[in-house]
Amino acid sequence: MSTSTVRKLDPESPSSLTGVKGRRRFVDRAMRVVVFLAFLLAVIPLFWVLWITISRGIGLVISPEWWTTSMRNVGPNDFGGGAAAAIQGTLIQAAIATAIAVPVGVLAGIYLVEYSDKPLVRPVSFMTDVLTGIPSIVSGLFIYALFITTFGFNRMGFLVALALTLLMVPVVVRGTEEMLRIVPNELREASYALGVPRYRTILKVVLPTAISGIITSVMLAVARIMGETAPLLILVGYTASLNPNPFEGEQAALPLMINVERGNPLPPGQERAWAAALTLILIVMLLNIGARIISRFSGIKK
């Protein structure tokens, strides 16, 4: 954008075509081509992935049975089938993870920003950075070692939710922190000037100002953990049947379903794997759109 403005200020009259200006124009053009090519390079794989997933998965995804039935009693060579069990499991696990991670993450974020004079802030901030860098497989193995090897639990959906919580907390902390930092200090000072204590200032002034951004960052974190596969592979078994109980037995999830159906060499299995991938993309996309809408319509109105 800015380059084109510059060009207009620099009229292309023959008199301005000295050596320097010609070279500048050449560099300008060349850079613009390079930037455009880089953009194309970044976008092509995205659209390619989208196109392949949609073209191979849409056939199943548009049928109502896909959303309402499970894979129970669908043989490996039967076409069709449904993702209800996988969608149910993914949503339940993500919901539990969110329910644990959001209070912890938001409160930690508030602590880091609003109580930045406290001694624990530096270690908490550092640990959040460390947590951010933990690969999902490690968090899965940690939960496995703690709950299954040490405490002797059976594999279940709830353990997946715990592993996802570990991945989600640092994202929420960082998101909350960023959002609280951009709340203007004048608001806090004005509140203090009126004699309002710190906790009320946070609850009534700072949080409402930042809430839309916090919600957005939470939704993005949810979307991110939904596609995690490594903890699922370790911590829960796949089932073709619906299982609404995260505390007992196998529970399906979309990434697991993709993995299992990919292992089925017959055409119906391949079709289901693509459809499950498309379903996961759709759900994540809906969450992202939801985050946009919420952030637009919530928060303080001017």
Structural contact between residues 240 and 71, judged by C-beta atoms closer than 8 angstroms: yes
Structural contact between residues 174 and 256, judged by C-beta atoms closer than 8 angstroms: no
* 184 is a site residue for other proteins (CB under 8 A): no
* Environment class of 120 (CB within 10 Å of its CB; exposed 0-12, middle 13-18, buried 19+): exposed
- Rounded to whole angstroms, how far apart are CA atoms 241 and 84? 9
Is the CB of 85 or the CB of 101 nearer to other proteins?
85
Q: Which of 17, 33, 145, 293 binds other proteins (CB under 8 A)?
A: 293
Is the CB of 7 or the CB of 56 nearer to other proteins?
56
Q: Which of 80, 104, 229, 288 binds other proteins (CB under 8 A)?
A: 80
In 3D space, the residue among 54, 3, 24 whose CA is nearest the CA of residue 274 turns out to be 54
* 103 is a site residue for other proteins (CB under 8 A): no
Least distance between other proteins and beta carbon 182 (Å): 19
Taking residues 27 to 56 in sequence order and writing x for each that binds other proteins by CB under 8 A, - otherwise, the string is ------------------------------
* 279 is a site residue for other proteins (CB under 8 A): no
Count of residues that interact with other proteins, criterion CB under 8 A: 47
Is the CB of 164 or the CB of 260 nearer to other proteins?
260
* 227 is a site residue for other proteins (CB under 8 A): no
Q: Which of 238, 274, 278, 291 binds other proteins (CB under 8 A)?
A: 238
Contacts of 78 (CB under 8 A, 6+ apart): 268
In 3D space, the residue among 176, 180, 256 whose CA is nearest the CA of residue 221 turns out to be 176
DSSP three-state, residue 53: helix
